Each structure stands twice: as C-alpha cells, then as structure tokens.
Amino acid sequence: MPAPTISVVSPTRASAGNTVAITGSGFTGATAVKFGSTNAAFTVVSDVRINATVPAGSGTLLITVDNPSGTSNGKAFTYSGTPGARISAISPASGPSSGGNVVTIVGSGFTGVTAVKFGNVNATSYNVVGPTVINNVVVPPGVPGTALVTVVTAAGPGGGYAYDYVGAPTSTTTLTDVPDPSVVGESVTFTATVAPVPPNVGTPTGTVTFNFGDGSPSVVVPLSGGVASTTHAYSTTSGSPFTVTAVYSGDSNFSASVGSGTHAVNAAATSTALVDSPDPSVVGQSVSFTATVSAVSPGSGTPTGSVVFDFGDGNVSAAVPLSGGVANISHTYTTTSGSPFTVTATYGGSAGFSGSVGTGT
C-alpha cells in the first residue's frame, strides 16, 4: 500500500462544518484527514475520493491524508473570512529542497507586502510587480515535502498555496537556544549544528543564516566543525514566543537545510531608586524627588512608562513619564505633622519591564 497522494481539494475556502471533497489516490484504508494538525471527520468514498468535514479553526493551512504507509502531500485550504492576500497559483509549484530556484506567485491583495514565506522561512528575495503578481521569488531551502506558501501583509498571512520541495536532503540543521526563556535585554546564545544525513559522512561547511523572528537583521555565521553560534538580545516581549530559523547554505557535498524553533521572552525585572533634595526641608520649601528605574541583570535596556509618587502626607502625584529611565517631580510640605514622611515611587511597568517600588523618608 503506497502513501496517499492528493491532487485536488474543493473548495479551497470554506467554513467549519462544510464538506470538502479531496481527490487523489491511495485513499483506501485512510486513517486520518488533517487540517493542519487538527483531525477532521471524513468518509472514504473510493480509493480516489474522500469527503471531509471542515473542523473548527481559522487562517490558512495544509490538508493531508494519512494511511498506514505514511502521509500524503499537502494541499492548501483557507477558512472563510480570513483576511489578507490570497495566492491562486505558484509557477512552478515545486522545486529542489536546496532552494535557490525562482518562482512567480499570482493572486490578489499583494499590497504592502512585508514577507513571502515558505512555511516559517522567508523567501530569499522577491519583487512585487503589482497587487496580483509577485515575481522573481527566490525559494529558500526546505525539506522534502509540502510547504505552505503565504504572502504576509498588514492583514496577516492571508490565503496560502502548496509548494512541494523534492529531492532527498543530505544534511539536517538542529537549532538550540540558551537560556530559554530569556528576559528583555538578556543575551541569548543560538547554536546551529549541521550534520550529514546517514549514510552520508563528513563535516558540512558553508554558512548559517539566523533569523530571530523579531524584525531585526538576519546574521550570517560561517560553520566551524559543523557548528555556528551567535548571540542576540530581544528588546521587547511583543511577539513572544518568536519563531527563530537557522538556514544552512549547503556546500558542494551537502544540501541546504533549515532548523527552526521558538524562543520566549519575558519582561525584565526592575529596581526603582528614590532620592530627594533637600533632605531635610522646611515647611513651604520645594523638594525635588527623583526616581531612577533600572533593569535588573540579566535584563538590560532603558525602562519606559511612568512613575506615581506618594509623598506620605496625603498627596499622590499623577503618573510622571520616564525619560531615559528617570522621573522627576517637586513637592512642598505644608506641615511637620507626620514627619518624617514615608515617600514611595511606584513604577507601573511596561511591555518589556516589570514594575517596582522605591521608598524613602
């Protein structure tokens, strides 16, 4: 019994609960139909047709069919209502796993394109001709099988299309990150290990391109002994966990390959130091209070946000914005009753930094 093959999915855009007809071969004895990673209810009509009920979900994904011999190629499917660009054709729709070949993408909504992705990996380069055509798309390396191609705009990845990588790989790339999770500003070491696929032997050479998934520039690192390492510090938690990729270039003996993973980033802890001048003061004298908010190691960077001062005499300030991690305010005491006053500076935190409190008298 060979693994199944899908040739057509109809319709390619529908809502949960609708029926999708899958045409191909090798469907007798099918054990699963999956929309992405979600199992769907299905009926095997014949060896060449399956009717599947669209499960709950969203976005764009690949439909596959399993039987005891393996998993089929994938075909793209998009849930109704998914915003963004739509791909209607890719020419050619297959190519070598080493990548580097050029394809043309046809569809709609190709305005404000920020990326063309083959799975989680960005195309090496592309040219947006207009809202319906993207040409000179240089395919990145991939693993044999089907990758979901998407065109990313401000509305999201939109409707995808299936692209088949062909050819047996001769290398694998494994990506590790330490520490994981990290905090904002902390240095993270990413290591890509490129190894031959048995029965191939030897040590791959070439380069690895690291993409950290946060919009920062990619970094190209040469292999040494089959290993490439680099460090990166994330400046925000927005987008965490980030998808990180390590793309091996290949060499004369080994094909290109891709390693990927996710990296979680948490807010960095902070400390707030409070100083006042002059101290002591006299009734009616203006006192300057300064709160300095700093990231606590291993985090780094300059916290943003605001500080609220409580002067201990029943008066509480409005939020004072930080500038360069510092907030200043003046206050005049009208009585000695309650002196020495306990003063607090409360930093409320931000997307990348947790809150903290400084106190003094």
In the chain, where does the domain assigned CATH 2.60.40.10 lie? 5-79, 86-166, 171-266, 270-360
C-alpha to C-alpha distance for 117 and 108, rounded to whole angstroms: 16
C-beta separation of 261 from 177 below 8 A: yes
- Which are the contacts of 261, defined by CB distance < 8 A and separation ≥ 6? 175, 176, 177, 243, 244
Q: What's residue 1's pLDDT?
A: 62
Domain range 86-166, its CATH number among 3.40.50.920, 2.60.40.10, 2.30.110.10, 3.40.47.10: 2.60.40.10
Model pLDDT for residues 178-229, shown as the tens digit of each residue:
999 999 999 999 999 999 988 778 899 999 999 999 999 999 999 999 999 9
The segments of the chain whose pLDDT lies below 70 read 1, 168-169
CATH no. for 5-79? 2.60.40.10
Q: What's residue 50's pLDDT?
A: 98
Q: What's residue 245's pLDDT?
A: 92
Cα distance from N-terminal residue to C-terminal residue, the chain: 81
Q: What's residue 205's pLDDT?
A: 92
- Which are the contacts of 117, defined by CB distance < 8 A and separation ≥ 6? 123, 149, 150, 152, 157
Which of 103, 147, 153 has its CA nearest to residue 127?
Answer: 103
Q: Which CATH superfamily is domain 171-266 in?
A: Immunoglobulins (2.60.40.10)
CA dihedral sign, ordered 9, 124, 106, 167: negative
Which of 292, 202, 209 has its CA nearest to residue 254?
Answer: 202
Q: What's residue 170's pLDDT?
A: 78
C-alpha to C-alpha distance for 327 and 302, rounded to whole angstroms: 13
Residue type at 19? Answer: T
The whole-model pTM stands at: 0.59
Architecture of 270-360 per CATH? Sandwich (2.60)
- Which are the contacts of 337, defined by CB distance < 8 A and separation ≥ 6? none
Scored b (16 or more CB within 10 A) or e, 212-251 reads: bbbeeeeeebebeebbbebebbbebbeebebbbbbbbbbb
